[in-house]
């Protein structure tokens, strides 16, 4: 392992001359750089930090954050991934007082570091929007995939500590997807399947993720894609596959600079059906319906309001809309919140079905998201994935039909 070349300022930070958090951060970044063969650190335009839920951090994680918060201040725009609860209406979601107290300590530590307490996996929808080609250090896998592929920014999939270290130094080691030679697609995926609803994009991500294995897909055959469809695809393809980067010809930037790789696979209608068969369990009674994985855009919230207006959520079911607080504030002004809450739906701002402490609370879940199903199964729930209409129907009837 060859040590990275450090500037005078970086060396001083590593020596502890700029305080504890800077030294700790430099130790993390230099260790990573050496393991992955980086030659130096490069500046990043922004950071997105995962590992925010107390459910995942525990007391050891909280202690680590408090240590860093003693003298650590971020140097670049830094936003947070979802926390374990809605920071304002946690009682409404059935979160315990004890959990809320711990989660608030975690948030307080991040706030003292100068981090924007945004708590969303769609930072690009709330103002943390890199430009094409910009180096960033993000950690939430769906957001990393969106940044690399849909925006054309450059980031590795950071862990929580390495993202925080990048935020304190404003830099990250130059390796992996920061290097153009590692961003070349190496499997051609021809999509012949017809996609008709949002959840089909999750199924497509499942299929491509499995078929591409560890390779970077160059996808052809898709004529058009909306932002919400791409964000759903990003979440799924990296959950069921390995690479947080793909190219989609005529849709995502940079695809025009590459030719379809020789190695190739196709995705047919039967592959989409197989994906649904793998993701869906045998279950009829639905205890939780949660949409917003990744977090709902304002457009998705408007669609939910339209479908739910004049109906009422079943007394046997909870219906959650997971989104950013910023999107919720727009929903408040547009009247969508009133419609959804009047129908018995609940907003789950700042959090999501994967990082909230839901294990043991619900036995079954319906959602539009393939990634949501993956993590909910880890929480021991039986899962159903379908269209927004099917999810609303499940919320209203308490049944998946």
- The minimum distance between CB 295 and ligand F3S, in angstroms, equals 6
Q: Which of 13, 57, 80, 121 binds ligand F3S (CB under 6 A)?
A: 121
* Length of the chain counted residue by residue: 401
d(C-alpha 44, C-alpha 166), whole Å: 8
Residue with tokens 């197989």: 274
Collapse the DSSP code of 41 into the 3-class scheme (helix H, G, I; strand E, B; otherwise coil) and give the result: strand
Site membership for ligand F3S, residue 322 (CB under 6 A): yes
- The minimum distance between CB 400 and ligand F3S, in angstroms, equals 20
User: For residue 166, what are its two tokens?
Assistant: 């990048």
Burial class of residue 31 in the structure, from the number of CB atoms within 10 Å of its CB (0-12 exposed, 13-18 middle, 19+ buried): middle
- The minimum distance between CB 371 and ligand F3S, in angstroms, equals 5
Residue with tokens 């202690």: 63
- The minimum distance between CB 290 and ligand F3S, in angstroms, equals 9
Query: Which stretch, 27-35, 175-183, 287-295, 309-317, contacts ligand F3S (CB under 6 A)?
Result: 287-295
Query: Which stretch, 20-28, 30-38, 93-101, 291-299, contacts ligand F3S (CB under 6 A)?
Result: 291-299
CA atoms within 13 A on the CB side of 309: 8
- The smaller minimum CB distance to ligand F3S, of residues 146 and 218, is found at 146
Site membership for ligand F3S, residue 294 (CB under 6 A): yes
- The smaller minimum CB distance to ligand F3S, of residues 16 and 127, is found at 127
- For residue 213, the 8-state DSSP code is T
- The smaller minimum CB distance to ligand F3S, of residues 55 and 188, is found at 55
- The minimum distance between CB 73 and ligand F3S, in angstroms, equals 26
User: Binders of ligand F3S among 80-119, rule CB under 6 A?
Assistant: 81-82
- The smaller minimum CB distance to ligand F3S, of residues 50 and 137, is found at 50
d(C-alpha 256, C-alpha 260), whole Å: 10
Residues in contact with ligand F3S, counted by CB under 6 A, come to a total of: 16
CA atoms within 13 A on the CB side of 143: 28
The answer to whether 222 and 252 have CB atoms below 8 angstroms apart is no
State how beta strands 382-385 and 364-367 pair.
Answer: parallel
- The minimum distance between CB 293 and ligand F3S, in angstroms, equals 3
- The smaller minimum CB distance to ligand F3S, of residues 38 and 370, is found at 370
- The smaller minimum CB distance to ligand F3S, of residues 144 and 169, is found at 144
Query: Which stretch, 57-65, 169-177, 292-300, 303-311, contacts ligand F3S (CB under 6 A)?
Result: 292-300
The answer to whether 297 and 122 have CB atoms below 8 angstroms apart is yes
Site membership for ligand F3S, residue 140 (CB under 6 A): yes
Nearest to 87 by CA among 305, 388, 324: 324
Nearest to 146 by CA among 44, 259, 41, 225: 225
User: Binders of ligand F3S among 345-384, rule CB under 6 A?
Assistant: 352, 354-355, 371-372, 375
- The smaller minimum CB distance to ligand F3S, of residues 42 and 242, is found at 242
- The minimum distance between CB 147 and ligand F3S, in angstroms, equals 13
| Cα–Cα separations (whole angstroms), residue 315 to 245, 287, 320, 367 | 42, 10, 14, 18
CA atoms within 13 A on the CB side of 140: 33
List phi, psi (to 5°) of 152.
Answer: 85, 20
49 DSSP β-pair partners: 80
Can you give the binding site for ligand F3S, defined by CB under 6 A? 81-82, 121, 140, 142, 235, 293-295, 322, 352, 354-355, 371-372, 375
């Amino acid at each position: 392992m060859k040590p990275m070349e450090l500037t005078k300022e970086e060396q001083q930070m590593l020596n502890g001359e700029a305080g504890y958090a800077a030294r700790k951060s430099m130790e993390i970044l230099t260790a990573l750089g050496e393991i992955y063969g980086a030659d130096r650190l490069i500046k990043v335009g922004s950071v997105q930090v995962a590992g925010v839920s107390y459910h995942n951090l525990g007391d050891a994680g909280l202690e680590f954050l408090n240590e860093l918060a003693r003298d650590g201040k971020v140097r670049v725009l830094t936003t947070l991934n979802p926390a374990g609860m809605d920071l304002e209406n946690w009682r409404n979601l059935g979160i315990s007082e004890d959990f809320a107290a711990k989660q608030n300590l975690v948030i307080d530590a991040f706030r003292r570091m100068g981090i924007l307490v945004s708590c969303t996996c769609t930072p690009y929808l709330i103002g943390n929007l890199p430009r094409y080609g910009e180096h960033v250090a993000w950690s939430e896998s769906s957001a990393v995939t969106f940044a690399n592929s849909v925006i054309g920014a450059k980031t590795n999939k950071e862990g929580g500590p390495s993202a925080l270290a990048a935020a304190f130094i404003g830099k990250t080691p130059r390796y992996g997807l920061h290097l153009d030679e590692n961003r070349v697609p190496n499997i051609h995926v021809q999509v012949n399947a017809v996609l008709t609803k949002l959840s089909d994009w999750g199924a497509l991500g499942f299929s491509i993720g499995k078929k591409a294995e560890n390779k970077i897909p160059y996808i052809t055959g898709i004529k058009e894609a909306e932002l919400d469809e791409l964000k759903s695809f990003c979440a799924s393809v990296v959950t069921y596959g390995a690479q947080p980067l793909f190219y989609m010809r005529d849709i995502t930037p940079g695809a025009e600079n590459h030719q379809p790789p020789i190695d190739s696979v196709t995705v047919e209608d039967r592959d989409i059906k197989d994906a649904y068969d793998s993701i869906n369990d045998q279950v009829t009674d639905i205890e939780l319906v949660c949409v917003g994985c990744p977090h709902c855009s304002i457009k998705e919230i408007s669609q939910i309001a339209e479908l739910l207006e004049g109906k009422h959520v079943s007394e046997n079911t909870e219906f959650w809309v997971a989104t950013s607080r910023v999107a919720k504030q727009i929903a408040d002004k547009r009247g969508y919140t009133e419609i959804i809450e009047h129908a018995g739906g609940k907003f789950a701002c700042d959090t999501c079905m994967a990082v909230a402490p839901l294990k043991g609370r619900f036995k079954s879940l319906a959602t539009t998201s393939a990634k949501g199903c993956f993590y909910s199964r880890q929480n021991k729930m039986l899962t159903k994935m379908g269209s927004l209409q099917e999810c609303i129907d499940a919320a209203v009837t308490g049944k998946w039909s």
